[in-house]
Structure 1
Amino acid sequence: MSDTMTGKRVADSLVPGGALAHRRMPRWAPLAIAVAAVVLGSVTGLVFDLASHLQWGLIALVLFVLGTYVTTAVLEDRRQAKDRVATSLVWACFVVAVVPLFSLVATTVAKGIKNLNGHFLTHSMGGVLSSDQGGGVYHAIIGTLEQVGLASLIAVPIGVLTAIYLVEYGRGKLALAVTFFVDVMTGIPSVVSGLFILAFWILVLGFSYSGFAGSLALVILMIPIVVRSTEEMLKLVPNELREASLALGVPKWRTILKVVLPTAIGGITTGIMLAVARIAGETAPVLLLVFGNQLINNDPFHGPQSSLPFYVYEQYVLGTDASYERAWSAALVLIAFVMILNMVARGIARWKAPKTGR
């Protein structure tokens, strides 16, 4: 009987009007605070003659956080106010991070779409002067696809196998040395990798400028990203899966091939695509090793080539209205290229991910 009465008193205290009940801020209040903050931020920008809309937005964010805290503290309590302020700060940081990205993409699309057409994508710059309209980016697309493709064919197997060694087999001084050098390579500037290949491949061994030489420099930049991302994904695979496979008498190499890698294939693919996106936009190695070419060169092993980053740099340096339009259009093509790679990677990761079910 005593327990029943105690439970009833606790239940009564949790309903509206009970001892533990407290007021809640209406659901529409955060939206109202956000609208008020935007209005006040705009008014402040107009009153103080602030030319940058970015300043207006920062003022609105500060007002939104302060308004959220004050409103929550009045309607609820300080503990809830601190919680809502923390949530507001997270959203504010998200907005601050997304706005530059959105602005970059919007500006590139607005400026690059003007000159983007079938002729631009299927022709090179052969016979086109810097001040002339026309010309295309086909030779740069071919160069980028070949250089990035060759770099990926070399770097991905090396990076994935190195990560497998570090996670599944690596012990002792050798593993520590490999981890150290991977960390060092992660911070190498692209121009340093280009200078290394220039000194070793061209000046010492005597090979000529080519797309393959640029690919070798891109390999140096790509390997540490693939190793580090693959290593982290392999570490997330539960050890119970490995132990269950080994307990059934499956060899370790087959456990890695059939259990560990399929489980982590989604994250591994994403890491590889991040590495591809990183090297696809590199300009310094191309400037030093690929040397640029106005014409189409389908052979990456002989003769200079172009690439999308080099093409953007080249057209921007020319300084004419026509070259600026070509540069923006090529930048839009490069962004689309990276986005397509990411969508393909997500599709492959979802297709190859382990099927779950009851």
Structure 2
Amino acid sequence: MSRTPDLTPLPPVEDRPRTSGLRTSHLPRWTPWATAVGSVAAGCAIGLGAGLDSEVQWGLIAAVLFVAGTYGLAASVEGRRQARDRVATSIVWLAFIVAVIPLASLVQETVRRGVKVLDPYFLSHSMGTVADAEPGGGIYHAIIGSLEQVGLATLISVPLGLLTAIYLVEYGRGKLARTVTFFVDVMTGIPSIVAGLFILSLMLIFKMEPFGFAGSLALSILMIPVVVRSTEEMLKLVSNELREASLALGIPKWRTILKVVLPTSIGGITTGVMLAVARIAGETAPVLLLVWGASTINMDPFSGAQSSLPLYIYQQYANSGGSDAAYNRAWAAALTLIAFVMILNLAARGVARWKAPKTGR
């Protein structure tokens, strides 16, 4: 039985891997690390020799040398095609490092400054009668306010966002679905101050005083489109074969959504909700407009002014008068807020793994 000959053209000679006998030449696994170390050393030497004071300039020189060195070594040993592949990989790693360095620097600086006053007393006491420029006081009232305001906003936003996403994916057709999608896209780009002004206008119409739930309403306006978009994308990833198999067994569509579609995508939905919570947990403008802030503990979000962690940080910086005590409290509150968001994300990952559908024994 004759076989059709393979007529695929071979790559140019310079793009083919170098061979020695029957073996193809490859760079050792430690080559990228050695190239990186050499590039950093050469970048520092060039920066010092040229009198460059900025470490950023040294880093840029080292990055260029790393990419050039990677290409030169790979091209001489493995061929130009593999060299281009290694250069692309190197650029991806450099982009990752550039993105991580500011984040690591921010966390390091927040931890270094925040641990100065972060202790059980700081977490369990309010400011009370302590002036902003005086030492002492704590963030207990701000923690209570943040938990209540973000919690109420989540209770409002998650059901609305989830049901809207289910409608758009499972039922939405025609003008209504397109209109809902358009307004969700518009709401995604609404500045937080605009959401606060909208709720503030309603409060002025009904002659209402500042209270915590008003801040929750503004935060929910910011949170709903994020929940809708993330949930919509997760529902679209569920295979249509799963829906069709369930419907073929005579199961109603609403039960298919409840028992098949949602459990399959629960991991992504939970992650999206936590991202939305992290999005609103650091908002200051709506809280400043609608809640005003208070230095004492207020457990009732439906009556009276409340504080929150972002608002507390802003007020400590704005009213510090150059006091180190106020600055230290602001950094400690920022560290607490970062820890709060981190715990939420870890909890979301745990819930997603627990509720994810099991594929084997």
**The two structures share one fold, judged by TM-score above 0.5:** yes
1:351 aligns with 2:354: yes
SS in 2 for 1:300: coil
In 2 relative to 1, CA 15–76 (structure 1 residues): closer, same or farther, beyond 3 Å? closer
The gaps in structure 2 that reach 5 residues or longer are 4-17
CA separation in 2, counterparts of 1:215 and 1:51?
48
For residue 204 of structure 1, report the CA deviation from its aligned partner: 1.1
Instruction: Write the distance in 1 (CA, Å) between the matches of 2:270 and 2:58.
Output: 40
Q: Whole-Å Cα distance in 1 between the matches of residues 251 and 360 of structure 2?
A: 23
TM-score (norm 2): 0.93
Structure 2: which amino acid aligns with 1:229? Answer: S
* CA deviations over 1:16-38 (Å, ceiling 9, x no partner): 503xx432112221111000011
CA deviation profile, 1:111-137 (whole Å, cap 9, x unmatched): 101110011000111111222111101
Matched, 1:113 2:115: yes
Equivalent in the alignment of 2:255: 254
Match of 1:322 among 321, 325, 338: 325
Which deviates more from structure 2 when the two are superposed, residues 103-112 or residues 220-229? Answer: 103-112
SS of 1:182's partner is helix
SS in 1 for 2:24: coil
Q: Which amino acid aligns with 1:31?
A: W
Q: Say whether the 8 Å CA contact 2:199–2:214 is kept in structure 1.
A: yes
Q: Percent identical across equivalent pairs?
A: 70
Q: Indicate if the aligned counterparts of 2:247 and 2:256 stay in contact, CA closer than 8 A.
A: yes
Deviations along 1:43-77, one digit per CA (max 9) or x if unpaired, are: 12222333332332222122111110111111221
Aligned residues between the structures: 344
Letter matched to residue 214 of structure 2: A
- Correspondence for 2:61: 59
Q: Closer, same or farther in 2 for the Cα pair 1:272/1:165, shift >3 Å?
A: same
Q: Which moved more, 1:43-52 or 1:289-298?
A: 43-52
SS of structure 2 residue aligned to 1:27: coil
- Matched-pair contact (CA < 8 Å) for 2:47–2:58: yes
Match of 1:215 in 2: 216
Check the 8 A contact 2:292/2:306 in 1, yes or no.
Answer: yes
- Matched with 2:8 is none
Displacement after TM superposition at 1:180 (Å): 0.1
> Cα offset for 1:15?
8.7
For 1:196, the equivalent position in structure 2 comes to: 198
More displaced stretch, 146-155 vs 47-56: 47-56
**What letter is aligned with 2:133?**
S
* Partner of residue 133, structure 2: 131
Kindly provide the amino acid, as one letter, of the partner of residue 283 in structure 2: E
Q: Distance between the aligned counterparts of 1:321 and 1:44, measured in 2?
A: 40
1:176-195 deviation line (CA, Å, top 9, x unaligned): 00000000000000000000
Any runs of at least 4 consecutive aligned residues in structure 1 with deviations exceeding 4 A, and if so which? none
Superposed CA offset, 1:152-199 (max 9, x none): 000000000000000000000000000000000000000000000000
Give the aligned partner of residue 90 of structure 1.
Answer: 92
1:70-81 map, 5 Å:
70-81=72-83
Give runs of aligned pairs for residues 1-358 of structure 1, distance below 5 A: 17-18=21-22, 21-200=23-202, 202-317=203-318, 318=320, 319-357=322-360
Q: Which amino acid aligns with 1:237?
A: V
SS at match of 1:179: helix
